[in-house]
C-alpha cells in the first residue's frame, strides 16, 4: 500500500515538477497547495496564514480536515456550509469529484505545497505523509523570485508565535529587521532561503528516512534520480514514467522562460541549473552567498558558486 506523500521545500525549488512526475504512475493523486490561503484547494483546510505551522498544540481545530486530506476525502459538506460564492461552490464540487476519482483508482494523496514546509513533522507523524523536500541553489532560488517579482511574506511568520518561538527562533531578529525594512528582494529572498533550508538542514539529520533532494541533482541526471525517488517511495517505475521524465527535462525544452510563465514544467533541466549566473550580477550573487552563510555552504560548496 502506497503511503501519502508530501512534496515541499522553499517555493520555486522544483516542487511542482517533482509532484507532477510522481503522479505519472497513477498511484498518487495530487492536491495542489492546500496550505495556500490564496488557492481554491485551500478549502480542504483553510489555513489562517501563509506558511501556517501545524503542531500538536494547535492542530485540534484542523484535525478532521487534515485527516480527510490525507485520505483524499474532500470535506464537501463543510465547504458548502462556508462557501462565499457560486464560483466557489462549482470549484469545490470539481475538487470533490477529482478526489473521489483518485480514491476509486486506489490512489494515495500527494500534497504538493511549499507553504506546508514548516508543518512537515506533523504531517508525517500524525497523518502518515512521506516527506520529499526539495532544496535549490540559493542564487537560483533568488533569481527565480526576482524573475516573477514575488513578495516575501515575513509578516505571516511573525504573526505565528508558535512558529517564531520554535522552528524560526534562530532567525527571529533577522526576520523582524527584514519585515520592518524597505523591500530588497535579493536580501529578502536570500533570508527566505536561509530560514526555510536552515530548518530542512536540521531535519535532514533528525529524519534520515525523509527524502531531502537537491534540485540540481535531479536536473543533472533526471531519469536515475527519479527512479531512485520512486523506489524510495514504493512507487512503480515504468517505461511510461521514464518517458514522462525525459519529456519534462529534455535539452530540446527551453532553459529559461518569460516572467509571465511561472509554472512552465517542460524545461532543459541541465541548462536550468546555471540560468542564475546570467540573471544575477556578481554583487547580487555575493549578497546571496553572504546572507545564506553556513546554511548555504552546508548544501552547496565552493565549486557550486564559482
Q: What is the pLDDT of residues 57-112, one digit of tens each?
A: 999 999 999 999 999 998 877 777 666 677 777 777 888 899 999 999 999 999 99
Beta bridge partners of 60: none
Please state the φ and ψ torsions of residue 9, each to the nearest 5 degrees.
140, 175
Q: 269 falls in which pLDDT band (50, 70, 90)? A: low
pTM score of the predicted model: 0.93
CB 43 within 8 A of CB 93: no
CB 163 within 8 A of CB 50: no
C-alpha cell read off for 141: 532560488
Check whether 40 has a pLDDT greater than 90.
no
Q: 123 falls in which pLDDT band (50, 70, 90)? A: very high
Check whether 259 has a pLDDT greater than 50.
no
CA–CA distance, 306 with 301 (Å, rounded to integer): 9
| In 207-251, alpha helices (H) | 215-220, 222-233, 239-249
Q: What is the DSSP letter of 219?
A: H
C-alpha cell read off for 5: 506523500
Specify the 3-state DSSP secondary structure of 132.
Answer: strand
**Torsion angle in degrees (nearest 10) through CA of 246, 251, 253, 258:** 130
| Residue carrying the nine cell digits 517533482 | 18
Handedness of CA 128, 122, 5, 104 (dihedral sign): positive
Non-local CB neighbours of 191 within 8 Å, separated by 6+ positions: 152, 171, 174, 175, 178, 291
Q: 296 falls in which pLDDT band (50, 70, 90)? A: very high
CA–CA distance, 147 with 174 (Å, rounded to integer): 24
C-alpha cell read off for 36: 495556500
| Residue carrying the nine cell digits 524597505 | 182
Q: Which domains does the chain possess?
A: 5-304 (3.40.50)
Amino acid at each position: 500500500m502506497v503511503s501519502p506523500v508530501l512534496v515541499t521545500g522553499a517555493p520555486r525549488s522544483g516542487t511542482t515538477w517533482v509532484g507532477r512526475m510522481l503522479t505519472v504512475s497513477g498511484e498518487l493523486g495530487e492536491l495542489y497547495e492546500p496550505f495556500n490561503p490564496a488557492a481554491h484547494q485551500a478549502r480542504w483546510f483553510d489555513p489562517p496564514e501563509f506558511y501556517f505551522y501545524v503542531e500538536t498544540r494547535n492542530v485540534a481545530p484542523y484535525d478532521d480536515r487534515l485527516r480527510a486530506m490525507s485520505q483524499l476525502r474532500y470535506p464537501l459538506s463543510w465547504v458548502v456550509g462556508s462557501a462565499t460564492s457560486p464560483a466557489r461552490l462549482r470549484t469545490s464540487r470539481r475538487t470533490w469529484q477529482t478526489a473521489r476519482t483518485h480514491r476509486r483508482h486506489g490512489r494515495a494523496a500527494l500534497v504538493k505545497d511549499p507553504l506546508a514546509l514548516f508543518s512537515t513533522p506533523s504531517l508525517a507523524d500524525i497523518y502518515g505523509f512521506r516527506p520529499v523536500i526539495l532544496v535549490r541553489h540559493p542564487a537560483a532560488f533568488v533569481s527565480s523570485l526576482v524573475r516573477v517579482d514575488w513578495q516575501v511574506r515575513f509578516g505571516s511568520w511573525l504573526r505565528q508565535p508558535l512558529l517564531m518561538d520554535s522552528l524560526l527562533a534562530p532567525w527571529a531578529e533577522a526576520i523582524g529587521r527584514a519585515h520592518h525594512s524597505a523591500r530588497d528582494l535579493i536580501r529578502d529572498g536570500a533570508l527566505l532561503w536561509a530560514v526555510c533550508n536552515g530548518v530542512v538542514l536540521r531535519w535532514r539529520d533528525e529524519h534520515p528516512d525523509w527524502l531531502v533532494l537537491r534540485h540540481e541533482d535531479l536536473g543533472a541526471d533526471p531519469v536515475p534520480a527519479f527512479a531512485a525517488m520512486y523506489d524510495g517511495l514504493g512507487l512503480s517505475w515504468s517505461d511510461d514514467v521514464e518517458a514522462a521524465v525525459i519529456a519534462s527535462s529534455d535539452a530540446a525544452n527551453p532553459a529559461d522562460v518569460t516572467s509571465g510563465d511561472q509554472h512552465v514544467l517542460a524545461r532543459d533541466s541541465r541548462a536550468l541549473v546555471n540560468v542564475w549566473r546570467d540573471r544575477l550580477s556578481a554583487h547580487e550573487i555575493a549578497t546571496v552567498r553572504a546572507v545564506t552563510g553556513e546554511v548555504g555552504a552546508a548544501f552547496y560548496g565552493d565549486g557550486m558558486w564559482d
